[in-house]
Structure 1
Amino acid sequence: MGITTSIKREHAEALLLRSLAEGKLSHAYLFSGPKGSGKLQTAMALAQALFCTNRTSPVDGGRACGQCVECRKVLNGNHPDLIRIAPDGASVKIDQIRQLQRSFAYLAEDDRPRMYIIEEAEKMTIQAANSLLKFLEEPGERITAVLITDNANALLPTIASRVQRIAFPPSPPASIASQLIAEGIPDTLANPASQLAAGLEAAREYAQSEWFAECRNIVIQLAKESLSSPAKSLLTAQQKIFKNSLSEHMEIILQLFGLLFKDIIHVQARLTTALNYPDQIGWLKQAALKRDAGCWVRALEFVIEARKQLRAHVNPQLVLERLLVAVQEV
């Protein structure tokens, strides 16, 4: 089996650059971890350093200069010795792997480093994975492979056993939120986005998306209505979620409910810093006074159950309606 190392993105990048500087770079890596944890960014940083003609000294980290012709080619996506493969439709297909092999075979006589990156590697078809397997076993000189996946367990064991695995853990939500706020994103979006995303890039994508702000506002409205007028909340859900594209984000909506109930519990405990709904502090205090902490813990449990039902393919509208009724009755 390949060796697995679990480290933060910046440490992974430093480790890889040090290995490159010392001539100890492995022929193949598997970067695994949740979306937004920096896997692709680390792979691209390695690619730049691999081709850079003006890297910093090993003492200074061995980083790419970012300015030379080779670095600019990597940044612009037109470096001839770097091949990136992403799913063609729903999967990475055997023809894509065969084309990769042909491309590198054509360049085999050149004594230049080469690198390929396979994104969403877990989506390789069986045929593609088996074709890649031989390439991993006999990679040729100066070829570096990076496979990127959100789900390492979905890869063939024969593939996983031939790569050095680096696991990218989620970034701490507080540091993500601080970065987003520093970029000018309001805490009303930065705080929940940082809780629901595994990394800065994914959190930024959430916080800058119109649909995310809409989901947050609707969750606030539904929570308020479910406590005072359950029938009205069911009508609101039907009109504002299930009659438009927001129904595609039901998992996020349920998680936003969970963050709202956690805020109420935190307010009850007088922990009012870094709330996910800081603009609702007045209502949060009112809700905290109406029911004890045990009620809101049960509400959280209802959210967990709703998410389980959603993953079990229960009708999303039915899942949300059950949750709204259950919250009213706690």
Structure 2
Amino acid sequence: MSTWTEIKEIQPLVTQMLTNSFKKERISHAYLFQGDRGTGKREMSTLFAKSIFCKNRDGVEPCQQCLECKRIDSGNHPDLHWVEPDGQSIKKEQILNLQKEFTYTGLESNRKVYIIVDADKMTTNASNRLLKFLEEPSQQTTAILLTENSQAMLNTIRSRCQLLAFQPLHPERVEHQLEEQGVSQSNARILAALTNNLAEAQELNDDEWFANVRKLVIQLVEVLLHKPNEGLLFINHQWMPHFKERKQLQIGLDVLMLWFHDLIHYNLDREQAIVFQQEREKREQASLHWSRQSAAHSLALILEAKRKINQNVHPTLVMEQLTLQLQR
């Protein structure tokens, strides 16, 4: 996503607002980009910086070829400063260093831009230093704060920024983009149903661990249908050894939920909405065991299991109870 035209397809409203600010020459001194990971915040901020510094801009589109554009791509533009968490947080010293940089005159022009990634991870001291910085804005300075959780930031910081909300990507678009990146159609469909975060979906696809998740979910359903007496044995000897971490178990339960969603879609003749497209025969067999109502009840049971996992109830006990409940 290197042009405004390309990024507009993903974030039309934010793109319109930012490009209008250029056309009207009303660039704000501070922006807060709020949205999930993978929704284009970083790409948008880079493109915005290019449009500010590019001397060969065509309207709002940067040329992508000049020295300024290439320096931004390589991370070496002297008047564009990135601040990212040092470990788990952004520290006071990082903001102090940023402020020190801004006491110097711009090397290429009078403009300066700084981008703070994961701005919600600033320590209290760092937040207070940034607040003072924002309270005394320079006409030639533009701040861009990126966050997935703006509610974790100081209200006083949020109030001094123009908030731009990045919308989640549409599942069909995520699915299409994953396929373009070489992900199989069946995997792309499941991944797009699990997350609208393209980067996260690609990470899962590249993880050998995830390749077996789909298989284990189908095996669990088969056991519930045809060998219910072996349900607890399957959970202890095959399911739990694969889902060793709580986060992994949550993903496994999410995929299991997709299976029961498919049963509901099947009963309502919504073929296009079905995720497990290749398991038609298994789905037909399962529909004889789980009606639309019992499939909906099963979804409620899985959601309750997910809640217990978040509450630190022992994972094996949660899965054993869920398995017994799904057998009834």
TM-score, with length taken from structure 1? 0.88
Letter in 2 for 1:53: K
- The one-character-per-residue Cα deviations of 1:23-67 (angstroms, maximum 9, x if unpaired) are 21111111112222221221111112122222112xxxx112222
Q: Find the partner of 1:42 among 44, 52, 56.
A: 44
1:1-330 alignment, distance < 5 Å: 9-57=11-59, 62-107=60-105, 111-230=109-228, 232-240=230-238, 242-243=240-241, 247=245, 248-329=247-328
Q: Which moved more, 1:117-126 or 1:12-21?
A: 12-21
SS in 2 for 1:105: coil
Residue deviations 1:57-92 (CA, integer Å, cap 9, x gap): 2xxxx1122222211111112222111122111111
- Greater displacement, 255-264 / 135-144: 135-144
Deviations 1:163-219 (A, max 9, x none): 110111212212221232344322221112112223433333333433332222222
Query: Relative contact order (alpha carbons < 8 A, sep ≥ 6): 1 or 2 greater?
Result: 1
Report if the CA contact (8 A) 2:220-2:231 is conserved. Answer: yes
Q: What's the secondary structure of 1:184's corresponding residue?
A: coil
SS at the partner of 1:79?
coil
Question: What is the alpha-carbon distance in structure 2 between the residues aligned to residue 163 and residue 204 of structure 1?
Answer: 32
Deviation of 1:318 after TM superposition, in Å, equals 2.6
Contact residue 9 and residue 39 of structure 1 kept, 8 A = no
Q: SS in structure 1 opposite 2:183?
A: coil
| Contact persistence 1:177–1:191 (CA under 8 A) | yes
CA distance in structure 1 between the aligned counterparts of 2:57 and 2:227, rounded to whole angstroms: 64
Q: CA deviation at 1:94?
A: 0.8
Letter paired with 1:29: Y
CA displacement at 1:235 relative to structure 2:
3.9
Maintained 8 Å contact 2:79/2:106 = no
CA contact (8 A) 1:93 1:124 kept: yes
CA distance in 1, matches of 2:232, 2:147: 38
Q: CA RMSD in A?
A: 2.2
Residue 3 of structure 1 is matched in structure 2 by none
- CA distance in structure 1 between the partners assigned to 2:235 and 2:100 by the alignment: 53
In the alignment, the residues of structure 2 paired with residue 48 and residue 235 of structure 1 have an alpha-carbon distance, to the nearest angstrom, of 58
Residue 140 of structure 1, CA deviation: 2.1
| Inter-partner Cα distance in structure 1 for 2:93 and 2:236 | 45
Q: Which amino acid aligns with 2:298?
A: A
**What is the identity percentage for the equivalent residue pairs of Structure 1 and Structure 2?**
36
Distance apart, 1:108 and its partner CA: 5.6
Judge conservation of contact 2:174–2:196 (CA < 8 Å) in 1: no
Name the SS of the counterpart of 1:31 in structure 2.
Answer: strand
Alpha-carbon separation, structure 2, partners of 1:274 and 1:283: 17
Instruction: Give unpaired runs (5+ residues) of structure 2.
Output: 1-8
Moved more, 101-110 or 125-134: 101-110
Stretches of structure 1 that go unaligned for 5 or more consecutive residues are 1-6
